[in-house]
Amino acid sequence: MIKIEKISKSFGGIRAVNECSFEVAKGSITGLIGPNGAGKSTLFGIVAGFIKPDSGRILLDGEDVAGVAPHRLFRRGLVRTFQTPHEFSRMTIRENLMLVPEGQSGESLLQSWLHWGQVKAEERALLDRVDDVLGFLNLAHVADEKAGNVSGGQKKLLELGRTMMTDAKVVLLDEPGAGVNRTLLATLAEAIERLNRERGYTFCVIEHDMDLIGRLCDPVVVMANGSVIAEGDFDSVRSNRQVIDAYLGGEAA
């Protein structure tokens, strides 16, 4: 579904991503791991359209989208989440979800006056969709809580819920497990698995929690110094000497 071909990016003469190439197959949960500074988040920024690459191609369903603006990629079903959640803290969880879909008739004052019935029907359908997301992610009990007041793990679930309010095809998850307690992490992992299995979502996941990577991801891609150094299933990757030297040496020892 996404094919990354020889992507490179430099900042101030420092090569952050160096001819990076790999593929995220449709229907997969692909893991992307590597030490801090390996270029993973920069690559995510490039794929999601926030950073323009110096060279290379990003093929989304066969079409080169390198350099395409994030909002245009969003409309094509490519969605990115961030390590630090970006919720509207003074709005409720429910309201955060309701904001996501584009082109709502109620956003127009004229439409609200002239087509009140259509606006109300859309709002009812939107509320039904929100309720489905809240139930799916086990957030119904905090639906009317201010988003700024819930736990870090619940904010990560909200980030995932926002992707469910779009017509997402590919979701780039940047460290979904960071700062999440083990109980909510299990809930988050189960939600990702169910979205993949039941609703056909394709994921690419940056994560430092190797237990989470081992549970969710196949294949796993390893980056170091801006380049891909290994790719395969989790067991083969973690036994790869180059990977151990670059990233897992401390754990292996």
In this structure, is the dihedral angle defined by the CA atoms of residues 132, 167, 206 and 149, taken in order, positive or negative? negative
Per residue in 109-160, pLDDT tens?
A: 455 544 556 667 777 888 989 999 999 999 999 999 999 999 989 999 999 9
Question: Which residues, other chains included, contact 51 with Cβ-Cβ below 8 Å and sequence gap of 6+?
Answer: 9, 42, 45
CATH class, range 2-89+151-252 = alpha beta
- Specify the pTM: 0.85
pLDDT digit of tens for each residue in the chain (253 aa)?
A: 899 999 999 999 899 999 999 999 999 999 999 998 899 999 999 999 999 999 999 999 999 999 999 999 998 999 998 888 888 899 999 999 998 876 555 455 455 544 556 667 777 888 989 999 999 999 999 999 999 999 989 999 999 999 998 878 899 999 999 888 888 899 999 999 999 999 999 999 999 999 999 999 999 999 999 999 999 999 999 889 999 888 655 444 3
Cα separation of 138 and 251, whole Å?
A: 33
Contact 87, 158 (CB under 8 A): yes
Q: What pLDDT is attached to residue 227?
A: 95
Cα separation of 50 and 34, whole Å?
A: 21
Question: Which residues, other chains included, contact 126 with Cβ-Cβ below 8 Å and sequence gap of 6+?
Answer: 98, 101, 104
In this structure, is the dihedral angle defined by the CA atoms of residues 149, 85, 200 and 204, taken in order, positive or negative? negative
Q: How would you class 155 by CB atoms within 10 Å of its CB: exposed for 0-12, middle for 13-18, buried for 19 or more?
A: buried
